[in-house]
């Protein structure tokens, strides 16, 4: 009997691991248009995993389509691509939406003979039928418009010519052949699409299995996606060597593991205890270089613990001189699958910039974990709402905030902002701070903290928006169970729906690609001592 062989062409749901291959595909398909970032691709997948499809041929990604569920009033109202796609993140996805809206479709130009586009459309159609949606809609490009624009009455006249057969367009023609029909023109859909004059045709397919006269009602199931969170309120105290510091850290990892925690988070700058066993006083630059010597051993130990104790570790933050010579304040996230991720602090405080010469990082993205995507905002970063919004757009439902504050005023700045981030992004925020002091280490003279696990303020959550909090200024481990499914429900059916109700027609976050290191110069001496500035 002849041997069976595996399929060479497969259409399946996209996963976050496909992001780089999808980016490369889009750059091949649209070489003269700006591409997505990896964070946007992962955001599309994280926000609606069922709605994103890839076509894979001989292990190469050769096709991709991205979709969201949206309400009919949104779909049929005037809109542009930025608005409807949630700035490319798919963050307008509404689990109760009655239409499937496609905002990306691309096929490798070298593989067009494989009917990949048709297969992707069929995958979308099958999804719409399974979910019993009213239909599918998208903005169809008009690439032939530019050639004949002097002979037609605008994009409307061009579309009319396509419908009556006097004009041909390769994209709209393909969509008509696949059962879609035009419902009008979106005049400023994608301004950079010069071939289409910036316009698009609103193309729709109506699901024949759904009664158009019957108003559908979709509800988000109140399911359970339980995650156990642990936050360490860490006592900063002198240690005799690196091994003793790791022993102190491992103590809390062990306890978090005993309680079956999925995540344990440590505070910002908790590794400054490694300066306590230095024999002589160090200048700020000497201290940074000495801390940098501990970077690789620290990562190795945190990663070992994550694997051995089966818990995801958010490793506080650690000042590090990077390979390019810049000094960064970095959180090392060591996951229980053995992977290690770094997140730089984007906004150093004035004291960090002045005394330690710390520079802000230039990238912020979600981190994929076995409990879904998460984000990290180091202390002061929590006071900049656009950063948390970017993480939420990328699909993060938990944001960790390691912090280091010397006074109650500094602590409350971080606390109030962290609570605001939980409310406005309808996510959980986990704070972890230092207590105690290191008398001979600059920046750690005094500490004030009350670590907490914060929630949105709505019916499924804790009455005061606090799932759990530590006693102030006491070394301890605080644990709480949270339900990620409650966030999904709140975003779709809550008393307020901050993410869904954003005015995409008025404002958006434009993440700059400015070269690393090109940052505002701060010449003035900061107020106060060499303390970290307290967020």
How many Cα atoms occupy the beta-carbon half-sphere of 414 within 13 Å? Answer: 33
SS (H, E, C) 223-275: CCCEEEEEEEEEEECCCCCHHHHHHHHHHHHHHHHHCCCCEEECCCCHHHHHH
d(CA 316, CA 430): 12
385-393 helix and 408-425 helix, angle to the nearest 10 degrees:
40
Q: How many CB atoms lie within 10 A of CB 322?
A: 16
With the C-alpha atoms ordered 411, 413, 416, 420, is the resulting torsion angle positive or negative? negative
Cβ-Cβ contacts under 8 Å for 396 (sequence gap 6 or more): 46, 366, 373, 374, 375, 427
Which single residue is written with the structure tokens 């690196």? Answer: 242
- In SS3 terms, 352-377 reads as HHHHHCECCCCCCCCEEEECEEEEEC
DSSP strand pairing (398-403 vs 428-436): parallel
Active site residue 240: no
Q: How far apart are CA 413 and CA 300, in angstroms?
A: 33
End-to-end Cα spacing for the chain: 70
Closest alpha carbon to 393 in 60, 10, 37 = 37
Cα distance between residue 300 and residue 99, in whole Å: 48
DSSP 109: G
Extract the tokens encoding 103: 């905002």
Residue of 65, 106, 379, 404 marked active site:
379
Q: Answer yes or no: 518 catalytic.
A: no
Classify 303 as helix, strand or coil.
helix
* Spatial separation of the C-alpha atoms in residues 382 and 396, rounded to whole Å: 14
Report residue 429 as tokens: 């925020």
Q: Which residues contact 122 (CB under 8 A, 6 or more apart)?
A: 11
Runs of H (alpha helix) within 370-493: 385-393, 408-425, 484-493
Task: Measure the CA–CA gap between 413 and 407, rounded to whole angstroms.
Answer: 10
* Annotation says 379 is catalytic: yes
65, 106, 345, 457: the catalytic one is 345
Among 104, 268, 301, 469, which one carries the catalytic annotation?
Answer: 268
- Residue 421 has a CB neighbour count (10 Å cut-off) of 27
Q: What distance separates the 2 farthest-apart alpha carbons in the chain?
A: 86
What is the set of active-site residues?
268, 345, 379
């Amino acid at each position: 009997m002849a041997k069976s062989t595996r399929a060479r062409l497969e259409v399946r749901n996209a996963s976050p691991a496909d992001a780089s291959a999808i980016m490369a595909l889009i750059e091949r398909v649209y070489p003269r248009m700006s591409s997505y970032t990896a964070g946007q691709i992962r955001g599309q997948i994280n926000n609606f995993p069922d709605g994103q499809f890839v076509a894979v041929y001989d292990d190469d990604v050769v096709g991709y389509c991205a979709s969201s569920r949206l309400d009919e009033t949104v779909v049929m109202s005037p809109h542009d691509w930025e608005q409807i796609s949630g700035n490319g993140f798919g963050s307008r996805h509404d689990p109760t939406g009655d239409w499937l809206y496609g905002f990306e479709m691309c096929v490798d130009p070298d593989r067009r003979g494989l009917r990949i586009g048709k297969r992707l459309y069929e995958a979308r159609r099958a999804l719409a039928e399974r979910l019993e949606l009213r239909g599918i809609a998208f903005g169809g490009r008009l690439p032939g418009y530019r050639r004949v624009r002097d002979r037609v009455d605008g994009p409307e006249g061009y579309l009319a010519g396509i419908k009556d057969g006097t004009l041909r367009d390769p994209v709209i023609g393909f969509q008509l052949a696949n059962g879609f029909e035009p419902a009008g023109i979106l005049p400023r859909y994608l301004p950079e699409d010069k071939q289409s004059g910036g316009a698009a045709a609103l193309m729709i397919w109506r699901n024949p299995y759904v009664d158009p006269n019957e108003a559908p009602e979709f509800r988000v199931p109140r399911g359970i996606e339980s995650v156990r969170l642990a936050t360490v309120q860490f006592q900063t105290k002198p240690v005799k060597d690196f091994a003793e510091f790791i022993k102190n850290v491992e103590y809390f990892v062990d306890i978090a593991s005993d309680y079956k925690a999925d995540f344990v988070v440590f505070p910002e700058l908790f590794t400054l205890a490694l300066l306590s066993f230095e024999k002589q006083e160090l200048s700020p630059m000497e201290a940074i270089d000495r801390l940098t010597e501990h970077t690789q051993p620290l990562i190795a130990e945190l990663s070992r613990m994550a694997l051995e104790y089966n818990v995801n570790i958010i490793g506080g933050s650690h000042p590090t001189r990077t390979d390019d010579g810049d000094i960064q304040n970095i959180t090392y996230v060591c996951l229980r699958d053995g992977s290690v991720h770094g997140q730089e602090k984007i906004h150093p405080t004035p004291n960090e910039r002045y005394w330690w010469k710390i520079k802000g990082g230039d990238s912020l993205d979600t981190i994929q974990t076995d409990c879904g995507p998460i984000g990290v905002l180091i202390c002061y970063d929590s006071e900049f709402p656009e950063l948390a919004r970017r993480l939420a757009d990328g699909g993060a439902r938990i944001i960790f905030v390691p912090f280091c504050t010397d006074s109650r005023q500094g602590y409350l700045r971080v606390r109030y902002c962290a609570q605001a981030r939980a409310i406005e992004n309808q996510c959980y925020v986990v704070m972890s701070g230092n207590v105690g002091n290191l008398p001979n280490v600059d920046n750690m003279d005094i500490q004030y903290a009350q670590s907490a696990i914060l929630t949105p303020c709505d019916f499924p959550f804790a009455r005061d928006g606090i799932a759990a909090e530590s006693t102030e200024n006491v070394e301890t481990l605080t644990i709480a169970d949270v339900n990620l499914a409650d966030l999904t429900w709140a975003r779709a059916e809550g008393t307020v729906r901050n993410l869904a109700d954003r005015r995409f027609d008025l404002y958006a976050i434009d993440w700059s690609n400015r070269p690393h290191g090109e940052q505002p110069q701060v010449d003035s001496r900061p107020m106060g001592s060499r303390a970290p500035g307290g967020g």
